[in-house]
């Protein structure tokens, strides 16, 4: 049927040209509070554990969650600011000494503007086995040649020196699995880091379930995965973020307070 008012479709459209608006212009603190709430809502957070930092371009200070509050209860006014030495320069709460994981990674990685750390369950199953997820699904292409395994657990990382050693092990990877501990996801933007964090738990669950079958999974070609990786980063991350923000605000508008 001929539809004269039809908009382009198929391969003519690289990304959605029309999506519902988030509805409000978000401050950085509001956006970060939404990121915490969203990742908690999809099961990424282990009760009160974990941290997200956001170091804006050209700054050494970073936005961070307070110590002792759960991700799912955070509001924009709870967000603290620490300097590059982890001193709290703004905010009404304390910040965990484990924040050095973030300060030292930001120090050496210009591209890692956002650093997310927590202990999502299925990633922790693989972390307990000391292994990375096998990439056996197209969404796993997001992590093609971008995974790091830190294969030894040696206690809490609560000093800048130990965190600098960890940052050296992570190198250029955007997703690290820490043996017997959890994950570190990074991104140039909040949207990219949140998308990696949200995706790794599902990728690990899928890889684990495939392992349980005892059968050999079908392989994907590297070049197909590389194309999908670029597509996911360029097209999916921002669309994912906008939807996450809409749903989080709708569930509880107080997140913006
Ligand atoms: Zn941890």
Residue-wise pLDDT tens digits, 19-51:
888 888 999 999 999 999 999 999 999 999 999
Distance 69 CA to ligand 1 centre (A): 15
Distance 83 CA to ligand 1 centre (A): 20
pLDDT of residue 198: 98
The total of structural domains in the chain comes to 1
Distance 99 CA to ligand 1 centre (A): 10
The answer as to whether 158 is a domain residue is yes
Q: What is the DSSP letter of 134?
A: P
Q: Which residues contact 224 (CB under 8 A, 6 or more apart)?
A: 141
The answer as to whether 14 is a domain residue is no
The answer as to whether 123 is a domain residue is yes
Block residue for tokens 């799912």 = 72
pLDDT of residue 156: 86
3-state helix, strand, coil in the chain (%, to 5): 45, 10, 40
Distance 4 CA to ligand 1 centre (A): 56
Q: What pTM, to 2 d.p., does this model score?
A: 0.95
Distance 122 CA to ligand 1 centre (A): 14
The answer as to whether 86 is a domain residue is yes
**Beta strands 51-54 and 175-178, pairing class:** unpaired
Q: Is the pLDDT of residue 84 over 80?
A: yes
Distance 140 CA to ligand 1 centre (A): 23
Distance 143 CA to ligand 1 centre (A): 21
- Residue 234 CA from chain centroid, whole number: 16
Q: Which residues contact 219 (CB under 8 A, 6 or more apart)?
A: none
The answer as to whether 252 is a domain residue is no
Alpha-carbon span 70 to 56, nearest angstrom: 24
| pLDDT mean across residues, the chain | 95
pLDDT, average across residues 107-123:
97
Distance 49 CA to ligand 1 centre (A): 6
Q: Is the pLDDT of residue 16 over 70?
A: yes
Percent of the chain exceeding pLDDT 70 equals 99
φ, ψ at 175 (rounded to 5°): -145, 120
pLDDT of residue 2: 63
CATH number at residue 139: 3.40.225.10
Distance 27 CA to ligand 1 centre (A): 27
Block residue for tokens 């603290």 = 80
Residue-range definition of the domain harbouring residue 46: 28-236
Taking only the tens place, the pLDDT of each residue in 177-219 is 999 999 999 999 999 999 999 999 999 999 999 999 999 999 9
pLDDT of residue 137: 97
How long, in residues, is the chain?
257
The answer as to whether 90 is a domain residue is yes
The answer as to whether 246 is a domain residue is no
pLDDT of residue 17: 78
Q: Are 114 and 53 in contact (CB under 8 A)?
A: yes
Q: Are 142 and 83 in contact (CB under 8 A)?
A: no
The answer as to whether 254 is a domain residue is no
pLDDT of residue 20: 82
pLDDT of residue 1: 56
CA distances from 205 to 122, 126, 210 (A): 5, 9, 9
Taking only the tens place, the pLDDT of each residue in 1-13 is 567 788 888 877 7
Alpha helices in the chain (DSSP H): 28-41, 100-108, 121-129, 160-170, 190-213, 222-231, 237-251
Alpha-carbon span 228 to 145, nearest angstrom: 13
Distance 220 CA to ligand 1 centre (A): 32
Distance 50 CA to ligand 1 centre (A): 6
DSSP 208-239: HHHHHHTSPPPP--HHHHHHHHHHIIIIIHHH
Distance 51 CA to ligand 1 centre (A): 8
Distance 155 CA to ligand 1 centre (A): 10
Taking only the tens place, the pLDDT of each residue in 127-165 is 999 999 999 999 999 999 999 999 999 888 889 999 999
């Amino acid at each position: 049927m001929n539809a004269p008012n039809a908009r382009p479709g198929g391969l003519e459209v690289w990304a959605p040209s029309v999506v519902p608006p988030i509805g409000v212009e978000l401050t950085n603190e509001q956006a970060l509070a939404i990121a915490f709430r969203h990742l908690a809502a999809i099961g990424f957070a282990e009760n009160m554990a974990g941290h997200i930092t956001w170091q804006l371009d050209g700054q050494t200070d970073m936005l961070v969650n307070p110590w002792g509050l759960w991700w799912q209860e955070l509001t924009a006014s709870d967000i603290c600011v620490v300097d590059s030495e982890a001193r709290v320069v703004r905010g009404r709460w304390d910040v965990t000494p484990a924040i050095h994981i973030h300060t030292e990674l930001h120090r050496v990685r210009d591209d890692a503007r956002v650093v997310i750390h927590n202990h999502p369950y299925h990633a922790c199953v693989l972390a307990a086995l000391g292994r990375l997820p096998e990439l056996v699904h197209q969404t796993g292409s997001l992590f093609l040649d971008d995974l790091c395994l830190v294969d030894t657990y040696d206690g809490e990382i609560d000093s800048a020196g130990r965190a600098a050693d960890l940052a050296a092990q992570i190198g250029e990877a955007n997703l690290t699995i820490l043996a017997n501990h959890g994950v570190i996801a990074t991104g140039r933007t909040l949207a990219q880091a949140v998308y990696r964090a949200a995706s790794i738990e599902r990728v690990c669950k899928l890889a684990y379930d495939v392992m349980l079958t005892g059968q050999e999974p079908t392989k994907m070609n590297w070049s197909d995965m590389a194309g999908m990786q670029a597509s996911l980063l360029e097209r999916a991350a921002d669309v994912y973020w906008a939807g996450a923000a809409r749903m989080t605000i709708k569930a509880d508008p107080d997140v913006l307070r």
